[in-house]
Amino acid sequence: MSFTAIVKDEVSKLDISSADKISELSAIVQNGDYKDGIRVITENNAVARLIYSLFKDLFNVYPKVSVKRGYNYSKNMLYTLEVKNKVKDILKGLGINGKVPENFIYADEDLLQAYLKGLFLMKASVNDPKTSRYHLEFNLDNLEYANFISDCLNHFNLNSKVLHREYRYVVYIKEAEKIGDFLRIIGAVKAVLYYEDIRIYRDHKNMTNRLNNCEQANVDKIIETANDQVKDIEYLKKVDVYDLLSDKEKEVSEYRVKYPEASLVELSEIISMETGNKITKSGVYHRLNKIRQLALKMKEKSEN
């Protein structure tokens, strides 16, 4: 079962108030077919049972239910619910009178949350957080409704965007934290816990990888710099100007050649311990820099 199906299965079983049920069913019917009666199709058995119960509880009508396999054998069964009675009364009661619902359907945050829950059951898909990307989207029929839904989502600061895709409009959320917030809004508690556990694990793993990469980069930089310093020392010996260095600079150069992979901190500790003369990291750097400057000066002279 996909993560989307798991979330739909969970939220379809939540116990909500009658007012919230109206908002929820409004979103469901709005995203079905209500030109000639009311017709709603879903692949999710739990969602089909919920829709049946909502019609029965709110309007005392019993939808006709039919089941058939999807358009190819890799798809789930399709559950179609049809209502032919009281259609005008139902549409009026659900605030469906145009491309967006009437205001009373989403008049407060509880009703808006219920509406978004109904919309999710009909038109949404959400990636399993174990996949390589975080993504939640709603596939909608027209731009006006897509903008309305985006505004509803952004009422909760979810940073949704609208995208035109062929003959559809997609409202999507890509930020992991915002997707987790949406799952909370529609009451998917179990899904939120699972989602957050995976998200935190992935974020921790990514951070660890970044730190490891950063550490490796620092090690590579230390080795590269040390190699350059050894080359400078060897060059000064080659052109017979090594004796121009002071005794302290020669001492550091000898230890650099002896310990080519040591960092400046490690080199300062080694010199301090073996000679008995304390030297700091900055002291080692200062002396190696003097060696570097002399090597550069001699190279410039040889080129001229």
Nearest CA among 105, 145, 136 for reference residue 21:
105
Q: Quick one: pLDDT at residue 205? A: 64
Q: What is the mean pLDDT of residues 42-59?
A: 94
The per-residue pLDDT for range 220-265, each reduced to its tens digit, is: 777 788 788 888 888 888 888 888 888 888 888 888 888 887 888 8
Confidence of residue 197 (pLDDT cuts 50, 70, 90): confident
Q: What is the mean pLDDT of residues 57-78?
A: 82
Q: Which token pair is 240?
A: 């017979």
Whole-angstrom Cα distance, residue 125 to residue 123? 7
Whole-angstrom Cα distance, residue 57 to residue 142? 30
User: Does the pLDDT value for residue 74 go beyond 70?
Assistant: no
User: Does the pLDDT value for residue 84 go beyond 90?
Assistant: yes
Q: Quick one: pLDDT at residue 38? A: 94
Within 8 A by CB and 6+ apart from 137, the residues are: 124, 125, 126, 170, 171, 172, 173
Confidence of residue 21 (pLDDT cuts 50, 70, 90): very high
The per-residue pLDDT for range 112-163, each reduced to its tens digit, is: 999 999 999 999 999 888 876 889 999 999 999 999 999 999 999 999 999 9
Q: Quick one: pLDDT at residue 57? A: 94
Superfamily of domain 3-187: Homing endonucleases (3.10.28.10)
Q: Compare 146 and 75 and report the one with higher pLDDT.
A: 146
Give me the residues paired with residue 137 across strands: 125, 172
Q: What is the mean pLDDT of residues 167-181?
A: 91
Q: Compare 167 and 222 and report the one with higher pLDDT.
A: 167
> Across the chain, how many H-helices and E-strands are there?
11, 7
Q: Quick one: pLDDT at residue 68? A: 86
Nearest CA among 164, 30, 138 for reference residue 93:
30
Whole-angstrom Cα distance, residue 122 to residue 100? 16
